[in-house]
Amino acid sequence: MVRRRPRGKTRQVCPQCGSDRLVFNSGMITGQVYHCLQCDYIGSLVFETDLPSDEELAREAEKPP
């Protein structure tokens, strides 16, 4: 049995510019299509990244420079 890591919050980013300013454009028969407001990318491929949790942010703040 494979144990999965609990998923935290995620965000979707544009594959061209890395911006998270994406809007859902259409769906249904065409599938999911997103539009990037930053670079005008239109497509179904978007990257989903994990947002750091509050504990991870606290650990990063405690580290010496």
Q: What is the pLDDT of residues 10-63, one digit of tens each?
A: 888 999 998 989 998 877 776 789 999 999 999 989 988 887 776 766 677 777
Between these two residues, 1 and 17, which has the higher pLDDT value? 17
Count up the domains in the chain and report the number.
Answer: 1
Instruction: Tell whether 32 is covered by a domain.
Output: yes
Classify residue 3: in a domain, yes or no.
no
CA gap 9, 36 in Å, rounded: 20
User: Does residue 23 lie in a domain region?
Assistant: yes
Longest dimension (CA), the chain: 52
Residue 1 belongs to some domain of the structure: no
In a domain, 33, yes or no: yes
User: Taking 70 as the threshold, does the pLDDT of residue 5 lie above it?
Assistant: no
Helix (H) or strand (E) holding 56: helix 54-62
Residue 5 lies in a domain: no
Domain of residue 18, residue span: 10-62
Task: Assess whether pLDDT exceeds 90 at residue 3.
Answer: no
Residue 25 lies inside a defined structural domain of this protein: yes
Q: What is the pTM of this model?
A: 0.64
